[in-house]
Amino acid sequence: MMEIKSMALSNVNKVMQAYNHDEQFIHTFFDYRNENRSYLERLTELSGRQFLRKELSSVIRSFMEPFGISKKASAHLEELSENGVVVIGGQQAGILTGPLYSVHKAITVILLAEEKRKELGVPVIPVFWVAGEDHDLNEINHVYTENSRGTLKHKYPEKFILKVMASDATYSEKEMTAFVEGIFRQFGETEHTRPLLEEVLTAVEKEETFTGFFVRLMNGLFHEQGLLFIDSAFKPLREIEKNHFTQFISESDKLAGLIVDKEGQFSALGFGKPIEAEKEAAHLFYVHETGRVLLSKTDGAFVNESTGIRFSYEEMLNIAAEKPWLLSNNVATRPIMQDLVFPVLAFVGGPGEIAYWALLKDAFHHFEIKMPIIVPRVSVTLVSKRAKQAMASTSLTLEEVLDRKIPEVRERFIGSLQNEQFEKLVAEMEKQLKEKYEELREGSSTAMQQVLEKNLKFHEKQLDYIRRKAEEELLIQHETALRKYSILENELFPEGSLQERIYTPYLFMNQYGPELVRDLLRQPIKMDGTHQIVYL
């Protein structure tokens, strides 16, 4: 049985603080407040816009077919082709689904879509947009596990020299199988290990790209809920996007200027520069034989200096019309493209995404659309039985753990272990020794004084050695108690971060069982900006 509680985190980032509480901030950077009455307004706005619904539904169906389409997903595709609207969120294609927040994002998308379907009486469909066009494989090529000494980062060993998109980056089945087996060995054997491992290895075998591997696992986890998946790098999707690429190319100077100005406003309020926007940015990538390269504008041409690529305005328009799959969005154009292609009721994002969406309001308006309602993804910490026991025996609360209090409490505990009698005797011995050496120094020659000084230092070192040994012995005697602090630190606040940013869900599924995600979806999870604590 799971138990769920909400808590407010004390170290919420500045942007999220402003998004949740500052009226002026919301008015300046967003079109809708994250509140119930916004949804009817957004529905009205969407009803006045045109979407290639049947084509979009058909593209998603063809993308999902190899992974398996559930009855519910199929029904969702039918609704999308008619009059359905979507709640959408996305993530890069990490190994073993990447960190837990990928799953938390999908859970938020599903729960919000279900809630709004009931409230609005219209088909609201959950969609997960996989950022398969991302080429920074270092962000997705590793998995963390935990042991008594802390967290361990396991990096997938194959090297990718070119900036290959995740959807084009193929792995060696042999290497990936060995990598996954190594991760599961680190998890430790439970009754759930074998079936989970077999399921993951089947996905490794059936797929060959990072994106395919990710989607097969995620589709398995959310099969029952009919979550739809689309890869931003899927070629047929580019056909639907090509007219919008033409718009981005035609308006690239205006678009770049609007984003630079908005980021200036954002920065002036003390929120930093999330994307370091530049006036010369084209906000598009070109997929070249050397990989995916970012384009900028020079004298009206679209260029990438390092590869020597240079396209005239007419050549770019021709690429958009004839070979749109050679173009790819960046962090600024992806949200706009998503909104032009999908009837987006609400977008679910993490803190980093909400920061860069804040720069896009004027850019959205330039394309005569409004930003969708932005809903922060649910943030969750899973507490295992052993972590709950460790909290009980150390008298630490979860608030204290997440408020970085463990080192201080651990030091206090170690301090309380000191053998005061032993320490007192050693201190007394040191004092007497110094006094006797002082007596010997009186009347001694300079040379003899130097010998005595050296000899005293030697004895002091020996006494320090005795102190250290006594401390080590105490720590060994209390190793079980100290281990409790490590469990809490490693499991609940690894690497000084929230657990959801570090660990894969498979670490917890290995302990709890494969129904972890299904059971989480049945909890009364709040989408109100509070942090959700789930006791497994």
Mean pLDDT of 19-35: 96
The answer to the question of residue 337 being in a domain is no
Q: Which residues neighbour 129 within 8 Å (Cβ) at sequence distance 6 or greater?
A: 88, 89, 90, 230, 232, 338
pLDDT of residue 460: 77
Kindly state whether residues 193 and 244 are assigned to the same domain. Answer: no
The answer to the question of residue 176 being in a domain is yes
The answer to the question of residue 448 being in a domain is yes
pLDDT of residue 206: 98
Residue 520 has pLDDT above 80, yes or no: yes
Q: Could you tell me how many residues make up the chain?
A: 536
Lowest mean pLDDT among 207-211, 225-229, 260-264, 406-410: 406-410
The 10s digit of each residue's pLDDT in 425-484 is: 767 777 877 777 777 788 788 888 787 788 878 877 887 777 777 666 666 656 777 788
Kindly state whether residues 406 and 469 are assigned to the same domain. Answer: yes
Residue 504 has pLDDT above 60, yes or no: yes
What the block records as the tokens of 65 is 């077919």
pLDDT of residue 471: 67
The 10s digit of each residue's pLDDT in 78-92 is: 999 999 999 999 999
Last residue within a domain, chosen from 288, 304, 329:
329
Residue 198 has pLDDT above 80, yes or no: yes
Residue 279 lies in domain: 240-250+273-329
pLDDT of residue 10: 79
pLDDT of residue 470: 63
The answer to the question of residue 456 being in a domain is yes
Kindly state whether residues 407 and 314 are assigned to the same domain. Answer: no
pLDDT of residue 420: 62
pLDDT of residue 426: 62
What the block records as the tokens of 339 is 């909104």
The answer to the question of residue 203 being in a domain is yes
Task: pLDDT band for 116, please (50, 70, 90 cuts).
Answer: very high
The residue ranking higher by pLDDT, 475 or 15, is 15
The answer to the question of residue 340 being in a domain is no
pLDDT of residue 430: 74
Kindly state whether residues 198 and 301 are assigned to the same domain. Answer: no
Kindly state whether residues 244 and 164 are assigned to the same domain. Answer: no
Mean pLDDT of 386-393: 91
Report the 3 state secondary structure along 250-317.
HCHHHHHHHHHHHHHHHHHCCCCCCCCCCCCEEEEEEEECCEEEEEEEECCEEEEHHHCEEECHHHHH
Mean pLDDT across the chain = 92
The residue ranking higher by pLDDT, 12 or 238, is 238
Task: pLDDT band for 149, please (50, 70, 90 cuts).
Answer: confident
Residue 284 has pLDDT above 80, yes or no: yes
Q: Is 266 left (phi over 0), alpha (psi -120 to 50) or beta?
A: alpha
Mean pLDDT of 297-305: 95
The answer to the question of residue 255 being in a domain is no
Mean pLDDT of 239-251: 96
pLDDT of residue 404: 87
The answer to the question of residue 436 being in a domain is yes
For 499-512, give the DSSP string: GGGTB-HHHHHHHH
Residue 5's identity, in one-letter code, is: K
- Into how many domains does the chain fold? 3
What the block records as the tokens of 458 is 């030697």
Mean pLDDT of 151-157: 94
How far apart (Å, rounded) are the C-alpha atoms in residues 41 and 47? Answer: 10
pLDDT of residue 411: 80
Task: pLDDT band for 14, please (50, 70, 90 cuts).
Answer: very high
How far apart (Å, rounded) are the C-alpha atoms in residues 56 and 64? Answer: 12
What strands, in cross-sheet order, belong to the sheet with 327-329? 309-311, 301-304, 291-298, 281-288, 327-329
Lowest mean pLDDT among 291-300, 428-437, 492-501: 428-437
Percent of the chain past pLDDT 90, that is, above it, reads 75
Kindly state whether residues 408 and 472 are assigned to the same domain. Answer: yes
